[in-house]
Structure 1
Amino acid sequence: MRIAINISRFKQDFDAMSLIGRTAEGGASRLAFSPQEQIAREFVKQKLYEAGLNPFMDPSGNLHGRRLGVEPGPAVAAGSHSDSVENGGHFDGVVGLLGAIEVMRSINDAGIQTRRSLEVISFLSEEPNRFGISCFGSRALCGKMDRALLYGRSDIKGETLSAALSSIGVSAQEIIGLNPEEYKYNAFVELHVEQGRMLYDSKIPLGLVTEIVGAYRYKVTFKGQADHSGGTPMNSRRDALAAAAEAILAVERTCRKYQDKDIVGTVGVIHVSPGAINVIPGECDIIIEVRGSTHFPKSTPVAEIKEAIQNTARQRKVEVNIETLMEDESRSVSPRVLQALEQGAAELGYPCLRMPSRTGHDALHMAELSEVGMIFLPSREGVGHHPSEWTDMGDIEKGLQLLATTLVNLAGS
């Protein structure tokens, strides 16, 4: 079934969202818990109202909008997120979120009644927030947020996660008391831009995800001795930043060793104290991320990295602490949902490519509440998390048509 998508209406919403948190470089900065992201969430809520989807917020802070079916039971859902990384792109998350709303409007326009209810979900804080947690809303909905984390995790300024949640009207206590069984779905489909080169290079408009990679993240703190940079001989120094530099190179070296196993590693965050030109760094924090597929255990390179870090600390006579921020395992998607997506693409006559997702998504965690699937769209030059991130509207329209067809097929008409 081909459902006509009003791509002009979608683009109008997309352009409006692109103005929220727009940076001088033309990117988007809508960080979780920020005023800009709160404006974006209000915009999404208004669009859910306009689509007749009666929005509500669950205890985890996710926004929902439901289109009732004729039968009770678990809904078929779609959605993504509105937050961004610092100075990121405009397509990440937003295409899948506003696209899901447009799909609901287009199904309404077509006068289609489904057996199962259809639902849009806007997840809270999909991008890594200042507390080192990504996919917060979907994790919390699955019951993965405990009291120790909610009340004990703090940012570099000392604000707790629970306080940040309270500032946007979300109660940590309600998250603790949440029952994930109340949020089971028949199926969940997330539409997202690829943020990689596979579709762009192959010139295929649609990717059907077969597995979603998990990520391991660790906060590593080195404590040495802050001292005068002029008065301290080189062989007497306990330089925390120098130790961190060796650790960063160990991450790169180890992950290159395993690159044929689809292992990648990154250190994208570093904090140095006291941060003065003429003072030897006494303390340094870095955050390490290691990603990999289901075909090779991430624990193998991670163990080697941790051993290298401990060796560096001993050699440089600094203290080190390694804190686990998250360890997400990779997941395969639902065969039933993947088959429904392939059937929909065949009905529409669109070529598609089976492919892994090398980036993390809320669908990874929603797999604990639902059978899941994902649609990828081409990213120009494979660019993601950057102001130049771009996906053609023609490809977005194809993705929305596939999403609409698949949701209706899964929900039954």
Structure 2
Amino acid sequence: MNSAAFLKDFHHVATIGATANSGVDRQAATAEDAKTRDWFAAQVRDAGWELRVDGIGNMFGLLEWTPGAPYVLIGSHLDSQPLGGRFDGAYGVVAALHAARRLDAEVAEGGTAPRFNLAVVNWFNEEGGRFAPSIMGSSVFAGLLQREQMLDVPDLSGTTVRDALGAIGYLGTAVGPEVAGYAEIHIEQGRILEREGIAIGLVDSSWYTQKLDIEVLGEQSHTGATAMADRHDALVAASKIILMVHDVTNDFAEGALVSSVGQLTLEPNSPIVVARRVHLVADLRSGGPDIVKSARAKLIADIEVLAQEHNIKVNVKDFDVRPIRRFPEAGLELADKVAADLGLSSRRLQTMAGHDSVAMNTVAPSIMLFVPSVDGVSHCEREFTTDADMVTGLDMLTGVARELVAGALINAQALPAAALA
């Protein structure tokens, strides 16, 4: 169990797309993302495993021990947010590579092939910073999103997923492996584990997510020559909508709902022109679906009133609605046992953020593991997890994967109907 080699690889990957303040900027299908993909491909080939790239850019490193058997997948994603953290996603991929190496060595030494094969995966565009929606590659793989539709999604400059993947050489044609199970380790992106001094988080469910695609249409005019009474300023109206999205959380119990507007574009974006159009995306999340639905209804009603007051038009569309998904009890019990055998403290918790495991949980028994995040911060350059906690998580992932390839969850079914709240 060479922890030093794992840490060396992790910190090397963090140099790809590194920012001035210890973060990374490796948005999906950019040149920086391509470099991490090249690194991943080299790791797979050097280990003697088969490399596959599918039609949405997902990368698989396949260890075939038992010919014809399905695969347990372990991994995460290598893409990042703009000016993001170096741990989110990349930790899970590098940990999966090293867990697979450990298990491959065990199989070679023991001489007995496990029930299932193993594959390490780097999912495409989990972050959704350049191309929306997020969790794209794993959702296409799981059949939750249509591949051709996702390939046509443009970024803000008009470049499509199809063209971007083609430009970096990762628009593949291979078919992904048949899946028997899935496990992913990730930083918590919250404060619970650090605050309670717990080593491992066992994710039992995801939060309900509702996004709103909002288009505010005003009238372009001169910022100096147009009288205030004659303006139809889309940006002023949009700024009030942003505050509505923020303030709607006050209608519910503290911590029950989180909301934000993280992306905004305006036209024509000139310092001497009143904005004619603003596009923004509102994000609502809660552990209670009714809370999100109530907040959505209030926002739509308030936006209608605002549009009349400003004599403008606002178009609101539902976007990227995700139900609560519950992880299989058998997987939680298995992970709890692995943690106990390793002498690690653990506890169950929900994930407020989305992850590839949430998509995979609809098609195969899945296990989602967390390690502590310092100060609970993520999606920023200050994101941090200690080397010691990362190594602990690697040991945990290795133990879980060992159980999964042996068939520990063969009777656990994570069918879509069972996974929904």
**TM-score, normalization by structure 2:** 0.90
Indicate which of 198, 203, 224 corresponds to 1:204.
198
Q: Secondary structure at the match of 2:179?
A: coil
Match of 1:36 in 2: 32
Pairs within 5 Å for 1:287-326? 287-294=281-288, 296-326=290-320
- Counterparts of 1:250 and 1:144, CA distance in 2: 31
Shift of the alpha carbon at 1:82?
Answer: 0.3
Residue 102 in structure 1 maps to residue 126 in structure 2? no
Match of 1:235 in 2: 229
Deviations 1:74-116 (CA, angstroms, capped at 9, x unpaired): 2222100000001111111111110011011122333354221
Indicate which of 202, 212, 219 corresponds to 1:218.
212
Match of 1:14 in 2: 10
Indicate which of 65, 69, 72 corresponds to 1:73.
69
Pairs within 5 Å for 1:169-188? 169=169, 183-188=177-182
- Counterparts of 1:288 and 1:40, CA distance in 2: 31
Pairs within 5 Å for 1:10-409? 10-70=6-66, 72-110=68-106, 111-112=109-110, 113-146=113-146, 149-150=149-150, 153-169=153-169, 183-260=177-254, 262-294=256-288, 296-409=290-403
- Match of 1:327, as an amino acid? V
- Counterparts of 2:164 and 2:2, CA distance in 1: 37
Q: Secondary structure at the match of 1:331?
A: coil
- Counterparts of 2:252 and 2:169, CA distance in 1: 44
- Counterparts of 2:252 and 2:274, CA distance in 1: 34
Shift of the alpha carbon at 1:183?
Answer: 4.8
- Counterparts of 1:235 and 1:35, CA distance in 2: 48
- Match of 2:327, as an amino acid? V
Shift of the alpha carbon at 1:169?
Answer: 4.3
User: Percent identity at matched positions?
Assistant: 28
Shift of the alpha carbon at 1:390?
Answer: 1.1
Query: 1:214 touches 1:360 (CA, 8 Å); kept in 2?
Result: no
Q: Secondary structure at the match of 1:332?
A: coil
- Counterparts of 2:152 and 2:72, CA distance in 1: 35
Deviations 1:295-340 (CA, angstroms, capped at 9, x unpaired): 6452221122122222211211111122333111121111121111
Match of 2:411 in 1: none
- Match of 2:298, as an amino acid? E
- Match of 1:303, as an amino acid? A
Segment drifting more, 342-351 vs 141-150: 141-150
- Counterparts of 1:85 and 1:97, CA distance in 2: 16
Query: 1:184 touches 1:369 (CA, 8 Å); kept in 2?
Result: no
- Counterparts of 2:75 and 2:178, CA distance in 1: 15
- Where do 5+ consecutive residues of structure 2 fail to align? 408-421
* Change beyond 3 A, Cα 1:149–1:316: farther
Deviations 1:274-296 (CA, angstroms, capped at 9, x unpaired): 22233221111111111122564
- Counterparts of 1:214 and 1:73, CA distance in 2: 34
* Change beyond 3 A, Cα 1:400–1:143: same
- Counterparts of 1:106 and 1:275, CA distance in 2: 53
Query: 1:57 touches 1:64 (CA, 8 Å); kept in 2?
Result: yes
Query: 2:93 touches 2:121 (CA, 8 Å); kept in 1?
Result: yes
Query: 2:19 touches 2:25 (CA, 8 Å); kept in 1?
Result: yes
- Counterparts of 1:299 and 1:309, CA distance in 2: 15
Deviations 1:100-155 (CA, angstroms, capped at 9, x unpaired): 11011122333354221111111011101323221111011122333773465333
- Counterparts of 2:221 and 2:300, CA distance in 1: 27
- Match of 1:283, as an amino acid? R
Shift of the alpha carbon at 1:261?
Answer: 6.5
| CA RMSD across the alignment | 2.2
Give the 4+ runs in structure 1 shifted more than 6 A: none
**TM-score, normalization by structure 1:** 0.91
* Change beyond 3 A, Cα 1:296–1:345: farther
Shift of the alpha carbon at 1:52?
Answer: 2.9
Segment drifting more, 184-193 vs 78-87: 184-193
Shift of the alpha carbon at 1:211?
Answer: 0.7
Deviations 1:222-262 (CA, angstroms, capped at 9, x unpaired): 11111122232222221100110111111111123235463
Shift of the alpha carbon at 1:19?
Answer: 0.9
- Counterparts of 2:334 and 2:405, CA distance in 1: 11
Aligned residues: 403
- Counterparts of 1:30 and 1:378, CA distance in 2: 23
- Counterparts of 1:41 and 1:57, CA distance in 2: 10
Deviations 1:41-84 (CA, angstroms, capped at 9, x unpaired): 11011112223322211222111112223364322221000000
